[in-house]
Amino acid sequence: MENTRAKLAWITGGGTGIGRALAMRLAKQGWTVVVSGRRPEPLQETASQAPDRIHARPLDVTSLAAVRQAVAAIEQAHGPIALAVLNAGMYESVKLDTFKAEVFDRHMRVNYLGVVNAMDALLPPMRARRAGHMVLVASVAGYRGLPLASAYGPTKAALINLAESCKSMFERAGLKISVCNPGFVDTPLTENNKFPMPFLMNVDDAAAALEHGIQKGKFEIAFPTRFVLILKFLRALPYALYFPLIKHVR
């Protein structure tokens, strides 16, 4: 992120949580930042923290036409997008009595297709410039199937696979792609969780870890380290060992 002054970042899901905290950090580093999300009020609150640097652009990422229009309008108003942090997401826990196809559909449209829509809109101008960095915000929940995350986890696993699949193509086009896999972060997305959240991170610490990973140009940006290592260890276990370890999680 050299020569960041006057560069433009676009953050979806920028009204709250990691998106908001990252927008504020980038603004302090001299970036111009556009934050997007469905609800105007949180976006305006984010923008008010640095009104000369942060700009609000309400957007529903599930609408491909709206996303394409938004990217074009952002670049027309503010210049080329150098960094796109595709962070919009949702989470609902799923138990057998709440297992409804509509819940899975909402997760897929927001968490996965919302990112794909943004990539679709960003790729033509970035490819024309042979410059740009996209960060897909997935989750450590995408490493392996976890109780209660049967709607959320598969969308995050899909994002990890998407980033892996695109990496070499992006590099040949002069572009960068990263995947961010956070653990539990104290945000509105997790505040209703009724289960223990190990290694729960402060949102500012999470945003700092994400910013650091972007600065270093890492492909995978994952935090907190201890929790990531535990889940990567669990990912490597055979089913005969893995399922007994998680069977009491409810």
The domain locations on the chain are 8-246
The average confidence (pLDDT) of the chain is: 93
Instruction: Provide block-wise average pLDDT over 10 residues at a time, the chain (250 residues).
Output: 70 96 97 97 96 97 98 98 97 95 98 98 98 98 94 98 98 98 80 69 94 98 95 95 82
Task: Compute the radius of gyration of the chain from its Cα atoms.
Answer: 18
pTM above 0.95, yes or no: no
Q: Which of 217, 215, 220 is nearest to 25 (CA)?
A: 215
Domain 8-246: CATH superfamily, name plus number: NAD(P)-binding Rossmann-like Domain (3.40.50.720)
pLDDT per residue as tens digits for the range 129-166? 999 999 999 999 999 999 899 999 999 999 999 999 99
d(CA 69, CA 102): 27
**Nearest 5 degrees, angle CA 55-CA 56-CA 57?**
120
Burial environment of residue 105 by CB neighbours within 10 A (0 to 12, 13 to 18, 19 or more): exposed
What was the pLDDT predicted at 2? 47
Alpha helices (H) along 40-86: 40-48, 64-78
What was the pLDDT predicted at 1? 46
